[in-house]
Chain A
Amino acid sequence: MTTTAPTRPEAPEPEAPAVRTRRGLPRFGGTGLFVAGLVVAGLLTALSGWSWGLFAVYGIVLGTLVTYVGSRVVEGPRKATDRLVTCLVSSAFAIAMVPLVSLVYTVVSNGITRLDGTFFTNSMVGVVGEGGGAYHAIMGTLIITALAALISVPIGLLAAIYLVEYGRGKLKKALTFFVDVMTGIPSIVAGLFAYAFFVIFFGPGVRFGLGGAVALSVLMIPVVVRSSEEVLKLVPNELREASYALGVPKWRTITKVVIPTAIAGLGTSVTLAIARVIGETAPLLVIVGITAATNFDPFDGRMATLPVYAYYQLTQPGVPPQFGIDRAWTAALVLIIIVMALNVVARLISRFFAPKTGR
Chain B
Amino acid sequence: MAKRIDVSDLDIFYGNFKAVEGVNVSIEPRSVTALIGPSGCGKSTFLRSLNRMHEVIPGARVEGKVVIDGQDLYGSDVDPVDVRRQIGMVFQRPNPFPTMSIYDNVVAGVRLNARKMKKSDLDDLVESSLKGANLWNEVKDRLDRPGSGLSGGQQQRLCIARAIAVQPEVLLMDEPCSALDPISTLAIEDLMTELKDRFTIVIVTHNMQQAARVSEQTGFFNLNGVGQPGRLIEFNPTEKIFSNPDQKATEDYISGRFG
Question: A-side interface residues toward B, CB under 8 Å?
Answer: 168, 236, 238-249, 252-253, 256-257, 260-261, 263, 355-359
Complex alpha-carbon distance, A355 and B88, angstroms: 25
13 contacts between A and B (CB under 8 A): A241-B91, A243-B108, A245-B53, A246-B85, A246-B162, A246-B163, A247-B81, A248-B81, A248-B113, A249-B81, A253-B112, A257-B99, A356-B148
Closest A residue by C-beta to B102? A358
Q: What does the 1/0 interface line of B91-110 toward A look like (CB < 8 Å)?
A: 10101111100000000110
Q: In the complex, are the beta carbons of A355 and B109 less than 8 A apart?
A: no
Shortest C-beta distance, B170 to chain A (Å), equals 12
Closest A residue by C-beta to B168? A247
Is B56 in the interface zone, CB < 8 Å from A? Answer: yes
Query: What residues of B have a CB within 8 angstroms of the CB of A257 in the complex?
Result: 97, 99, 112
Q: In the complex, are the beta carbons of A243 and B159 less than 8 A apart?
A: no
Shortest C-beta distance, A170 to chain B (Å), equals 14
Complex alpha-carbon distance, A261 and B105, angstroms: 13
Contact partner of A242 (CB less than 8 A), chosen from B51, B81, B86, B95, is B95
Interface residues on chain B, size class: 20 to 34
Q: In the complex, are the beta carbons of A238 and B95 less than 8 A apart?
A: yes
- Using known A-B contacts A247-B81, A253-B112, A261-B97, determine if residue A241 contacts B56 with beta carbons closer than 8 Å: yes
Query: What residues of A have a CB within 8 angstroms of the CB of B98 in the complex?
Result: 239, 261, 355
Query: What residues of A have a CB within 8 angstroms of the CB of B85 in the complex?
Result: 246-247
Q: In the complex, are the beta carbons of A245 and B149 less than 8 A apart?
A: no
- Using known A-B contacts A247-B109, A358-B146, determine if residue A238 contacts B84 with beta carbons closer than 8 Å: no
Is B166 in the interface zone, CB < 8 Å from A? Answer: yes
Complex alpha-carbon distance, A356 and B90, angstroms: 23
Complex alpha-carbon distance, A241 and B162, angstroms: 13
Closest A residue by C-beta to B93? A238
- Using known A-B contacts A247-B113, A248-B81, determine if residue A358 contacts B148 with beta carbons closer than 8 Å: yes
Is B226 in the interface zone, CB < 8 Å from A? Answer: no
Question: B-side interface residues toward A, CB under 8 Å?
Answer: 51, 53, 56, 58, 81-86, 88-89, 91, 93, 95-99, 108-109, 111-114, 145-149, 159, 162-163, 166
Q: In the complex, are the beta carbons of A247 and B145 less than 8 A apart?
A: no
Contact partner of A245 (CB less than 8 A), chosen from B58, B89, B111, is B89
Q: In the complex, are the beta carbons of A357 and B146 less than 8 A apart?
A: yes
Complex alpha-carbon distance, A239 and B148, angstroms: 12
Shortest C-beta distance, B73 to chain A (Å), equals 13
- Using known A-B contacts A246-B166, A355-B146, determine if residue A238 contacts B112 with beta carbons closer than 8 Å: no
Q: In the complex, are the beta carbons of A356 and B146 less than 8 A apart?
A: yes
Complex alpha-carbon distance, A27 and B105, angstroms: 52
Closest B residue by C-beta to A262? B99
Query: What residues of B have a CB within 8 angstroms of the CB of A249 in the complex?
Result: 81
Contact partner of A252 (CB less than 8 A), chosen from B58, B114, B149, B159, is B114
Contact partner of A168 (CB less than 8 A), chosen from B58, B86, B146, B166, is B58
Q: In the complex, are the beta carbons of A246 and B56 less than 8 A apart?
A: no
Q: In the complex, are the beta carbons of A246 and B95 less than 8 A apart?
A: no
Q: In the complex, are the beta carbons of B99 and A260 less than 8 A apart?
A: yes
Closest B residue by C-beta to A261? B99
Shortest C-beta distance, A8 to chain B (Å), equals 56
Query: What residues of B have a CB within 8 angstroms of the CB of A256 in the complex?
Result: 111-112
Q: In the complex, are the beta carbons of A244 and B84 less than 8 A apart?
A: yes
Shortest C-beta distance, B216 to chain A (Å), equals 24
Q: Which of A168, A242, A246, A359 has the most CB of B within 10 A?
A: A246
Complex alpha-carbon distance, A256 and B109, angstroms: 11
Closest B residue by C-beta to A256? B112
Query: What residues of A have a CB within 8 angstroms of the CB of B163 in the complex?
Result: 245-246
Query: What residues of A have a CB within 8 angstroms of the CB of B89 in the complex?
Result: 241, 245
Shortest C-beta distance, A257 to chain B (Å), equals 6
Q: In the complex, are the beta carbons of A242 and B148 less than 8 A apart?
A: no
Query: What residues of A have a CB within 8 angstroms of the CB of B112 in the complex?
Result: 243, 246, 248, 252-253, 256-257
Q: In the complex, are the beta carbons of B159 and A242 less than 8 A apart?
A: yes
Q: In the complex, are the beta carbons of B88 and A246 less than 8 A apart?
A: yes
Query: What residues of B have a CB within 8 angstroms of the CB of A359 in the complex?
Result: 149
Shortest C-beta distance, A161 to chain B (Å), equals 16
Query: What residues of B have a CB within 8 angstroms of the CB of A358 in the complex?
Result: 145-149
Complex alpha-carbon distance, A253 and B111, angstroms: 11
Complex alpha-carbon distance, A351 and B53, angstroms: 34
Closest B residue by C-beta to A358? B149
Query: What residues of A have a CB within 8 angstroms of the CB of B97 in the complex?
Result: 239, 242-243, 257, 261
Q: Which of A168, A242, A244, A260 has the most CB of B within 10 A?
A: A242
